[in-house]
């Protein structure tokens, strides 16, 4: 359906107003000021590494990697987080429990504030409480979305998957991109990171209003409360979703966003953002591409799939099913040629510490929840079956095996929405990468592809 002409005019007029960054006086450096201090030394560091090691081989590439989704191919640089197959993720060298201990929290809260995690991802440093509060306020000040983006969302049919709506809205934010404008105005390469930083801050800040609007349009009455400039990011997101009064849910969101933010550079959403950003597409376009990757069932949509699978299981074998009945159901999934959602990983070879962090949260806040108990029962059953089936290299659960049970406990039962929350979180990692890529002058990504006949020719006569 075409928009009435008047509404288009009104929308474009409101959208033309540039996003206004928040400014807050403080004796301590803001995130942007701290980054500006760090960037010159990092440029020199990269130059030195390339001068010393740039021409050295970095392990062999085997043909299987070309056909096998580039598993294990060393191809990217990202300082923000590193994933060890046995240990799991570290954000700037810090494990999830270390982040829970070290990063500033909300008053009375026990979980880290995602604002602090973003600071850590960007700088490698733990921010002060004041710096984190400054970020919360800055994001609240930037949080409004243009009227025409609201209209795009309001026009989406409720049957359009929330992730598609999310991607549409983020793409449309590009209308006000500081980077796209600066590029058109002829900004020097050396200055790219500044407008990329502004766009990234706007992007993260606006996601609660987008996610909240999608949730309320699809599952509620479409009415949205206002952001509170004195509340932290997760609290405001919870409020927009209708759970702001639920302290447990707010704490869950703080943990959820923190642990879903980044998972080194090679996963589909992180890598897609970096790849698209390397063409100097602005952060809105680059992150919208990330979201489209996250929307796949082998990646972020797995959290939706886990809940669907659990619900199907319950409808088939009942709510307090025996281990035997669960085993049979898991086998029927595998025999039907489907994957067990929430299990396995392309890099990890142990239980995902993001799963463990969520399990610990559940043990503390909802130990008797029936769905949590089912998740635990499955944990005791699935790995042995995947090992016996003999295909999956990692039989252990990943982050998605747990998250839906926690959200369901607090009343967020609409599983089609779960990946949107993953997307809000993943913006933190993708945005941090984009800022550093522009600061370091990362080039256009352009790996080489080969045809099968070229491979055969290359190896002709060789054994
Ligand atoms: C995450 C995932 C995509 C990783 O894929 P991968 O790196 O190719 O994994 P593997 O090398 O272990 O795959 C080898 C085989 O085991 C299968 N396998 C892996 N995990 C499996 C699972 N959870 N259930 C059933 N089979 C699985 C693969 O489909 C593949 O089968 P194929 O040879 O017929 O193609 C895969 O484990 C998966 O599909 N998991 C379920 C979806 C999920 O939870 N995704 C979220 C990830 S954070």
Query: pLDDT of 22-52, one tens digit each?
Result: 556 678 999 999 999 999 999 999 999 999 9
pLDDT-based confidence at 252, cuts 50/70/90?
very high
Domain limits, the chain: 136-297+414-440, 300-410
- Please check whether the domain covering 136-297+414-440 is classified as CATH 3.30.230.10: no
- Which residue among 392, 396, 426 has the greatest number of ligand 1 atoms within 8 angstroms of its CB, and so is best to mutate? 392
Report the candidate in 288, 296, 284, 290 with the shortest Cα–Cα distance to residue 271.
290
Q: Do 218 and 164 meet the contact criterion of CB atoms below 8 Å apart?
A: no
Q: Which of 260, 345, 402, 409 is catalytic?
A: 345
- Residue 392 in contact with ligand 1 by CB distance below 6 A: yes
Report the candidate in 193, 150, 101 with the shortest Cα–Cα distance to residue 433.
193
Q: What is the pLDDT of residues 55-95, one digit of tens each?
A: 999 989 999 999 999 999 999 999 999 999 999 999 999 99
Rounded Cα gap, residues 154 and 223, in angstroms: 11
Rounded Cα gap, residues 306 and 415, in angstroms: 9
pLDDT-based confidence at 463, cuts 50/70/90?
confident
Q: What is the mean pLDDT of residues 335-351?
A: 97
* C-alpha of residue 342 to centroid of ligand 1, in Å: 9
Q: At residue 219, does pLDDT exceed 50?
A: yes
Q: Is 138 a catalytic residue?
A: no
* C-alpha of residue 345 to centroid of ligand 1, in Å: 6
Ligand 1 atom closest to the CA of 343, numbered from 1:
23
- Residue 389 in contact with ligand 1 by CB distance below 6 A: no
* C-alpha of residue 393 to centroid of ligand 1, in Å: 8
Question: For position 125, what pLDDT does the model report?
Answer: 98
CA trace torsion 430, 435, 441, 447 (10° rounding): 10
**Ligand 1 atom 2, closest CA:** 345
- Residue 391 in contact with ligand 1 by CB distance below 6 A: yes
Phi, psi of 215 (to 5 degrees): -60, -45
Q: What is the mean pLDDT of residues 169-184?
A: 98
How high does pLDDT run on average in the chain?
Answer: 94
Sequence-distant (6+) residues with CB within 8 A of 317 are: 325, 326, 328, 329
Question: For position 24, what pLDDT does the model report?
Answer: 63
Q: At residue 2, does pLDDT exceed 70?
A: no
Q: How many helices (H) does the chain have, and how many strands (E)?
A: 22, 2
Percent helix, strand, coil in the chain (nearest 5)? 60, 5, 35
Question: For position 10, what pLDDT does the model report?
Answer: 38
Crossing angle of helices 283-294 and 193-219, in 10° steps, is 50
Q: 300-410, what's its fold?
A: Cytochrome p450-Terp; domain 2 (1.10.230)
- Residue 303 in contact with ligand 1 by CB distance below 6 A: no
* C-alpha of residue 59 to centroid of ligand 1, in Å: 25
Rounded Cα gap, residues 240 and 102, in angstroms: 28
Rounded Cα gap, residues 246 and 86, in angstroms: 35
Q: What percent of the chain has pLDDT over 90?
A: 93
**Least confident span in 5-14, 80-89, 114-123, 239-248:** 5-14
- Residue 273 in contact with ligand 1 by CB distance below 6 A: no
Q: What is the mean pLDDT of residues 256-275?
A: 98
Question: For position 462, what pLDDT does the model report?
Answer: 85
Question: For position 7, what pLDDT does the model report?
Answer: 39
Q: What is the mean pLDDT of residues 131-143?
A: 97
Cβ-count burial 74-86 (b if 16+ within 10 Å, e if not): eeeebbbbbbeee
* C-alpha of residue 340 to centroid of ligand 1, in Å: 8
Question: For position 14, what pLDDT does the model report?
Answer: 40
Rounded Cα gap, residues 133 and 258, in angstroms: 16
Q: Is 400 a catalytic residue?
A: yes
Question: For position 27, what pLDDT does the model report?
Answer: 82
Counting Cβ atoms within 10 Å, is residue 388 exposed (0-12), middle (13-18) or buried (19+)? exposed
* C-alpha of residue 298 to centroid of ligand 1, in Å: 8
Same fold, 136-297+414-440 and 300-410: no
Q: At residue 3, does pLDDT exceed 50?
A: no
Q: Do 214 and 420 meet the contact criterion of CB atoms below 8 Å apart?
A: yes
Question: For position 19, what pLDDT does the model report?
Answer: 63
Q: Do 104 and 113 meet the contact criterion of CB atoms below 8 Å apart?
A: yes
Q: Is 323 a catalytic residue?
A: no
**Least confident span in 9-13, 98-102, 174-178, 222-226:** 9-13
Report the candidate in 204, 68, 206 with the shortest Cα–Cα distance to residue 149.
206
- Residue 244 in contact with ligand 1 by CB distance below 6 A: no
Q: What is the mean pLDDT of residues 410-424?
A: 98
Crossing angle of helices 418-439 and 247-260, in 10° steps, is 40
Q: What is the mean pLDDT of residues 357-370?
A: 98
Q: Which of 232, 282, 400, 437 is catalytic?
A: 400
Question: For position 26, what pLDDT does the model report?
Answer: 73
């Amino acid at each position: 359906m075409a928009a009435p002409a008047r509404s288009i005019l009104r929308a474009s007029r409101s959208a033309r107003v540039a996003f206004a960054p928040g400014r807050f006086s403080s004796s301590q450096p803001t995130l942007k000021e701290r980054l500006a201090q760090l960037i010159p030394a990092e440029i020199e560091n990269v130059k030195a590494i390339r001068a010393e090691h740039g021409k050295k081989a970095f392990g062999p590439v085997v043909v299987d990697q070309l056909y096998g989704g580039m598993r294990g191919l060393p191809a990217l640089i990202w300082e923000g987080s590193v994933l060890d197959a046995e240990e799991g993720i570290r954000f700037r060298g810090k494990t999830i429990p270390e982040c829970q201990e070290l990063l500033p929290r909300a008053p009375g809260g026990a979980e880290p504030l995602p604002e602090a995690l973003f600071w850590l991802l960007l700088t490698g440093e733990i921010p002060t409480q004041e710096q984190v509060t400054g970020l919360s306020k800055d994001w609240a000040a930037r949080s409004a979305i243009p009227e025409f983006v609201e209209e795009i969302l309001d026009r989406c049919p409720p049957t359009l998957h929330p992730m598609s709506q999310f991607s549409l809205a983020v793409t449309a934010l590009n209308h006000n991109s500081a980077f796209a404008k600066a590029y058109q105005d002829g900004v020097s390469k050396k200055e790219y990171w500044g407008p990329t930083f502004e766009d990234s801050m706007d992007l993260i800040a606006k996601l609660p209003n987008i996610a909240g609007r999608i949730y309320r349009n699809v599952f509620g009455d479409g009415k949205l409360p206002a952001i509170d400039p004195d509340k932290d990011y997760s609290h405001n997101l919870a409020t927009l979703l209708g759970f702001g009064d639920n302290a447990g849910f707010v704490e869950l969101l703080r943990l959820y966003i923190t642990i879903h933010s980044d998972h080194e550079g090679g996963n589909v959403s992180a890598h897609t953002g970096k790849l698209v950003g390397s063409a100097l597409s602005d952060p809105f376009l680059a992150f919208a591409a990330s979201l489209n990757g996250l929307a796949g069932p082998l990646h972020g949509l797995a959290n939706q799939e886990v809940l669907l699978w659990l619900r199907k299981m319950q409808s088939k074998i009942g709510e307090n099913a025996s281990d035997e009945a669960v085993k049979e159901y898991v086998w029927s999934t595998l025999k039907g040629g489907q994957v067990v959602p929430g299990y396995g990983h392309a890099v990890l070879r142990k239980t995902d510490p993001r799963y463990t962090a969520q399990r610990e949260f559940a043990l503390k806040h909802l130990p008797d929840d029936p769905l949590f108990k089912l998740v635990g029962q499955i944990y005791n059953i699935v790995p042995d079956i995947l090992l016996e089936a003999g295909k999956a290299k990692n039989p252990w659960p990943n982050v998605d095996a747990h998250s839906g049970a926690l959200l369901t406990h607090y009343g967020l039962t609409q599983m089609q929405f779960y990946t949107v929350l993953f997307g809000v979180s993943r913006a933190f990692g993708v945005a941090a990468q984009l800022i550093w890529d522009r600061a370091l002058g990362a080039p256009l990504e352009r790996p080489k592809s080969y045809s099968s006949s070229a491979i055969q020719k290359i190896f002709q006569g060789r054994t």
